[in-house]
Structure 1
Amino acid sequence: MTKPRHRVAIVALPGTFVLDLAVAAQAFGRRPSVFTKIRDEARAPYDVVVCSPAEVETSLGFTIGDVAPVSEILTADTVVVPGLEAPWAPQHPDVLAAIKQAAADGKRMVSLCAGAFVLGQAGVLDGRRVTTHWALADEFREAFPAVLLDEHAMYVDDGQVLSAGGMLASTDLCLHILRSDHGQSYANDVSRVLISPPHRVGGQAQYAREPQVRATGPLEPVMAWVLDNLPEPLSLERVARQAHLSPRTLERRFRAETGESLQSWIARQRVARARALLEDSALTVTEVAHATGFGSSESMRRHFRAQVGTSPQAYRAAFRAPVA
């Protein structure tokens, strides 16, 4: 007897991100004709269906009308939920019920980008480790406190539940699933069609933007002074003198206002300044280290990797175009 083909249901909801949906459809669905130059495959190894309660207006404003009913979710072996514009909004109860039932039946559940919010609303994430887009981490933690969020991961494989970070991290996760289902060689061949690396080094931290400093409390003047003097040695004692406070009082007030120590905050600001210089200047890594107050390239590498998840050299290679 012929083994039943693995069925993938992609759940399309109002405001679905077109790129997420397209990545899933391309990774699991019909192969482009150029794939025959790489691998002799008559059909993709999956049957793919797009499910929705009704016609779907996507994030780009056009409508997808060729959709299957939500009940098709229950026939799938893998359920994929792409990201969407307003993931915190309450989703259609029939969709949530079908997703919850599919998870209870042991089906593989996959969220792409903000699609993790939908799985969270369906109640299938409690106690699990997942990721979502780094910019939505605060909203996700507030909505689902029982879920273990790793916002720095490119994707997370937690067994039955798999999740991807930002939109293009969806490609990384889909290739990971192909690798798990059909081996590294098969995933590599699909990556060759997509012109995407089979596995990217590092996580979302290298893409996250440090929020702009908006000090409004009593420490605003001294924080502004620190930012103006980042290249200089900034011990707790020196900053305390500038603030006309004792070191102990400054540290206590700083933690109360920012939630972290003064030196931790200074290190984050130096890394943020280093990222900007690595992207926009021609300074060497050593020169960037001195310009941001780290004192040595080794010190900067240590703090940079801890915060960004990659090295300054790798970060520059990814975020600064080569000079023509």
Structure 2
Amino acid sequence: MTANKGFMTKQQSLHKIALLVFDGVAIGDVSVPISLFPYAVNRAGSPIYTVGICSSTERLQTGFLTIAAPNDLSWALSADTLIVPGVDDLETAIPSELIDIIQKAWVKGVRIVSLCTGAFILAQAGILDGAKATTHWKATNEFVKRFKKIKFVPDVLYVDNGQILTSAGATAAFDLCLHLIREDCGNEVAATIADLAMVPMERAGIQPQLSHSSLLSENDPITKILAWIEENIERSFSLNDISNKFNLSTRTLTRLFIGSVGLPPAKWITMARIRKAKSLLENTNLSIDIIAEAVGYSSAEVFRENFRKASKFSPSTYRRIYHRDIWSE
């Protein structure tokens, strides 16, 4: 995908994000990208993204607010990523020039992202035909009824088709934007932004999955369990091992995990191992064999298989893209 290529090399130019706004835009969807992307910085403290608000008019009205748009729609065609927020009312008329810009950006290979009901706008532009997509759960029936050529995916936070990505409603916009930052900049930058925004970096399905056990309350009964697992991530342990360690039945342990982090224990442990491995790949020159052992895998082959499933990259490719040396120049 062309939109990400700048982050796979050592080029220093800012990644341009165009945020489209229009009369009736959902202000919550507008606020999420401008609350996250501007705060992503490299190791030298320099910004990674520049975000420009684009519209067909200099001022527009949404709810009780008036938004000033300093950039016209043509600015979006020079962007690396184009973000389309949702609408407050599904009957809102979308300007034809905005649809035209989305279509042109798609042809150019710009990464295109919709938040919440912004998927309706991408669908109207015809760029989702034959692809998978999601949107706010309350708009599901209307979306399916209107756009029969699109493969609607329920009960997910976002859908990543490569060039085109769509998010579910409300706070799922955070999940998708953090996913983009993680894909562009690596796990460490995304985790920092998640901590600044006080939101979980990773969630599974429609359930919350906190990326750091420190974000849980100290009084949460699972906090000590998660901390112990992370401190002993190099060990191989079963569900019974953990249950016995904390004097719990396996059923109670599973219930605690699902209730607190939204995942069964085995899935959370695998993600914790991968998270640690990503940190080691980004920040050290340790061999893949040593990293595999350090995060609890019996062999490098098993580690590579699990890492690829979780991150879409092999460990070596991930290191080549995200190793800290790319930020040192």
Whether TM-score is above 0.5 comes out as yes
Q: Which has the larger radius of gyration?
A: 1
Equivalent in the alignment of 2:24: 15
Is the CA contact (8 Å cut-off) linking 2:24 and 2:92 kept in structure 1? no
Equivalent in the alignment of 2:97: 94
Gaps of 5+ in 1: 206-310, 320-324
The 1:117/1:314 distance shift into structure 2, 3 A limit, reads: farther
CA distance in 1, matches of 2:79, 2:131: 22
Equivalent in the alignment of 1:231: none
Equivalent in the alignment of 2:76: 73
Q: CA deviation at 1:75?
A: 1.0
| 2:53 partner SS | strand
The 1:97/1:66 distance shift into structure 2, 3 A limit, reads: closer
| 1:48 partner SS | strand
Equivalent in the alignment of 2:60: 56
Residues 207-226 of structure 1 mapped to structure 2, 5 A cutoff: none
Residues 149-164 of structure 1 mapped to structure 2, 5 A cutoff: 149-164=152-167
The more displaced of 84-93 and 171-180 is: 84-93
Residues 261-300 of structure 1 mapped to structure 2, 5 A cutoff: none
The 1:204/1:134 distance shift into structure 2, 3 A limit, reads: farther
CA RMSD of aligned residues (A): 2.5
Is the CA contact (8 Å cut-off) linking 1:153 and 1:204 kept in structure 2? no
Equivalent in the alignment of 1:166: 169
Matched residue type, 1:14? D
**1:26 has 2:13 as partner:** no
Q: Please, which of 104, 120, 125 is the counterpart of residue 123 of structure 2?
A: 120
CA distance in 1, matches of 2:56, 2:15: 23
The more displaced of 134-143 and 61-70 is: 61-70
CA distance in 2, matches of 1:88, 1:73: 24
CA distance in 1, matches of 2:258, 2:89: 31
Q: CA deviation at 1:315?
A: 7.0
Matched residue type, 2:117? A
Q: CA deviation at 1:90?
A: 3.1
Equivalent in the alignment of 1:203: 206
Q: CA deviation at 1:17?
A: 1.7
The 1:316/1:10 distance shift into structure 2, 3 A limit, reads: same
TM-score (norm 2): 0.58
The percent of aligned pairs where both chains have the same amino acid is 32
The 1:15/1:45 distance shift into structure 2, 3 A limit, reads: same
TM-score (norm 1): 0.59
Q: CA deviation at 1:81?
A: 0.6
Q: CA deviation at 1:318?
A: 8.3
CA distance in 2, matches of 1:185, 1:16: 32
Q: Which has the higher contact order (CA 8 A, sep 6+)?
A: 2
Is the CA contact (8 Å cut-off) linking 1:87 and 1:118 kept in structure 2? no
The 1:174/1:2 distance shift into structure 2, 3 A limit, reads: closer
CA distance in 2, matches of 1:317, 1:56: 41
CA distance in 1, matches of 2:86, 2:124: 14
Q: CA deviation at 1:83?
A: 1.2
Q: CA deviation at 1:99?
A: 0.5
CA distance in 2, matches of 1:41, 1:56: 37
